[in-house]
Amino acid sequence: MSDFSLEKYASSLSRKPLSLGIVDRAYEPTRLLTENERKNVVKLKFKDAKYEFLGNIFTRREELWSALGVDGDTAAYKRLLEAIEKPGKAQETRFKLRKADAKLSDLPFAMYYPNDAGMYLTSGVIFAKLGNISNASFHRMLLLSDSRAALRIVPRNLYTMLKEKNKGGEDLEVALVVGMHPVAQLAAAMSPSYGVFEMDVAEKLLPGFTVSMTPKYGIPVPADASVVVEGKILREKAREGPFVDLTSTSDIVREEPVFEAEAFYEGKKPLLNMILPGGEEHKLLMGYPREAAIYEMVSRVVPKVKKVRLTSGGGMWLHCAISIEKNTDGDAKTAILAAFTGHTSLKNVIVVDSDVDIDKLEEIEWAIATRFQPSKMVIINEARGSSLDPSAKDGITSKVGIDATAPLAERDKYRKSALPELKPLPREVKEELDAMLKEKRIKGYSKYLADGMVTIFGDIKISSVRGYKVLALNL
């Protein structure tokens, strides 16, 4: 049987985790994770905590591709979309974790920023089961005591399950999991339709992935999880927030449900993970599935989508750049509207031609400067936005779409000049040009083929040399 534990995944990494030893819970994780972002997976421990923690597991797209077994974004998008549309089936196996003498503060609760409300857990996934429906989703948790935490629940699947349970005057039995295979974490961040279990999505991406039923409440959790905490989400509420989130701004204070821990379980070699709020790993886990959704929606209405990027500056949540190949001049506006449909939290969409590299912000800016007119901007007012946008009012925002593509009829007018492809002249071409130079028929020539053309100097009417087109420059 395959081992899908986080510890096994970490041991398979080409860049081994950098051990940083014992660190303070307050601010040090933020500094160390930031310093090593895109450089090192790090391993650290808190003096007063039982377990070790990994950070920076996914801070680059290439690491995510490798975990999915693909070599690029398009293949990754297609794998994720297929897994949601046609999930596998995570088979059940026996629960093999042992009872643990632990408490919530043994988990990676940390004070990341001075304006946070307290110690936060950012890598916890809540598993719930209601009737035949199971769900797994990320929820930040504010430590209240060694057995209680306030958790932020947005109006999605877990919220629906909690409301249904509360209608009968009951609390919702759940399991908190910290430390599982990164692809299973990605599946838990994907928000499929209600009734689709995220671990079945994980099984499609990781064939052979299994779940086990927790001893007390029979909730399906990853069989190779590092730590599982059974408990309940109570009808009781507590103040949660502020918390620095995806956009690196503080989310507001709310009254949120309280999680009460009842039983702890751990694997043989429990290795947990922590996620830097607003860091690249946070953005990739949350944003990458949305990129896939945007890619799918835009691909339905535009013939060729080259690249989609939820930009880092927008938290991989609010701003999107898309490069396409147009068939008609209306394709860019159609792509903008499709993108807003694919990810409703988007506030700004920029569409450019395929000759613009949207991984380079200066190229996006160049396209806006040279191919965009504000009079053609798409503006949508009073639309649903994101609670992560501090400029939105009660989640309502205006949205902007920018068509920074060149008109098809005037494509050449908008091309960016670049150095042509240069190749040494073929020997036979050089010999003929030397003969012409000796006969003073030309004044000189370039020793390179420029985009496959021969360049000569002189007032001479020659259309080709040895089958190569000629560009004659008068000197």
**Residues belonging to the active site:** 245
Residue 162 neighbours by CB under 8 Å, 6+ apart? 128, 153, 172, 233, 257
The span from the CA of 121 to the CA of 151, in Å, is 9
Residue 447 has phi, psi (to 5 degrees) of -80, 5
Residue with tokens 């007063």: 48
Q: Whole-angstrom Cα distance, residue 47 to residue 22?
A: 6
* DSSP-assigned states of every residue in 138-193: E--EEE-SSSEEEE---TTHHHHHHHHHHHTT-PEEEEEEE---HHHHHHHTS---
Rounded (to 5) percent helix, strand, coil in the chain = 30, 30, 40
Q: Say how many CA atoms lie within 13 Å of 41 toward its Cβ.
A: 20
Where does residue 367 fall: left (phi above 0), alpha (psi -120 to 50 degrees), or beta otherwise?
Answer: alpha
Contact 220, 211 (CB under 8 A): yes
**Cβ neighbours of 345 (radius 10 Å):** 22
DSSP string, 351-406: EEETTS-TTSHHHHHHHHHHH--GGG-EEEEEEE--TT-TTSBTTEEEEEEEEE--
Q: How far is CA 264 from CA 101, 232, 235, in A?
A: 7, 13, 22
Residue 439 near residue 424 (C-beta atoms within 8 A): no
